[in-house]
């Protein structure tokens, strides 16, 4: 009978140890469930945050695309306006040069001292160079496709104008503006086409 209390104590110890295992297991399961719940909650919050960020980024990208489209449209309008302004200024400059060429031919023809052809040619070339550069300076304020209009003026044009002036002075015909004007207009129309072809070239 003395062994009975010992057996009971052992059984009680085993029972308490089993309860601890059960309690520990229960806490572990509850902890795992709580961790799973928190993880799912965190993933849901993170997913919503990412969705909101994605929508915001999409809106920004769309806004930038719309802005670029508007800027392109504005650029086309401004480019067209600048192009038209350049056309008007070039037309004015070329008219001025043609007028100066006619005056140069008339003045030189009226000069009786044409015996020294070399001196006459040098004087004509200097005069053409002076008014040519002076008139073309008006184009320095304009640019198109990143090119300065004055810098796109072909230096060879000045030589052609000088050659035409010299040939006209020594053609032994009396000066008449209507005789030289058509030739000059054709010449400067070619210059104008060459200039704008160069400006449009990227």
Q: In this predicted model, what pLDDT tens digit does every residue of 93-143 receive, in sequence order?
A: 888 889 988 988 888 888 767 788 888 889 889 988 888 788 778 888 888
Domain of residue 156 covers: 78-200
Q: How many domains does the chain have?
A: 1
* pTM for the whole structure: 0.58
Rounded Cα distance, 164 and 188, in Å: 12
Q: What is the DSSP letter of 147?
A: E
Per-residue pLDDT for 74 more than 50? no
DSSP-assigned beta bridge partners for residue 147: 144
Q: What is the DSSP letter of 116?
A: -
Q: In this predicted model, what pLDDT tens digit does every residue of 133-180 receive, in sequence order?
A: 887 788 888 888 788 888 888 888 889 999 999 998 888 777 787 888
Residue 109 included in any domain: yes
Residue 166 included in any domain: yes
Residue 15 included in any domain: no
Query: What is the CB-side half-sphere exposure of residue 23 using CA atoms within 13 A?
Result: 6
Rounded Cα distance, 187 and 196, in Å: 15
Rounded Cα distance, 104 and 127, in Å: 8
């Amino acid at each position: 009978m003395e062994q009975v209390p010992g057996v009971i104590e052992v059984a009680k110890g085993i029972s308490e140890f089993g309860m601890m295992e059960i309690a520990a297991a229960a806490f572990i399961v509850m902890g795992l469930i709580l961790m799973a719940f928190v993880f799912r909650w965190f993933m849901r919050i993170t997913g919503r945050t990412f969705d909101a960020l994605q929508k915001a980024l999409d809106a920004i990208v769309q806004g930038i695309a719309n802005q670029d489209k508007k800027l392109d449209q504005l650029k086309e309008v401004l480019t067209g306006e600048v192009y038209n302004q350049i056309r008007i200024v070039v037309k004015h400059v070329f008219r001025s040069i043609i007028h100066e060429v006619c005056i140069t031919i008339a003045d030189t023809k009226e000069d009786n001292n044409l015996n020294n052809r070399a001196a006459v040619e040098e004087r004509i070339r200097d005069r053409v160079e002076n008014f040519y550069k002076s008139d073309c300076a008006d184009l320095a304020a304009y640019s198109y496709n990143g090119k300065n209009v004055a810098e796109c003026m072909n230096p060879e044009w000045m030589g052609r104008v000088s050659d035409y002036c010299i040939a006209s002075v020594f053609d032994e015909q009396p000066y008449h503006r209507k005789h030289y004007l058509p030739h000059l207009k054709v010449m400067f129309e070619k210059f104008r086409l060459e200039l704008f072809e160069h400006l449009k070239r990227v």
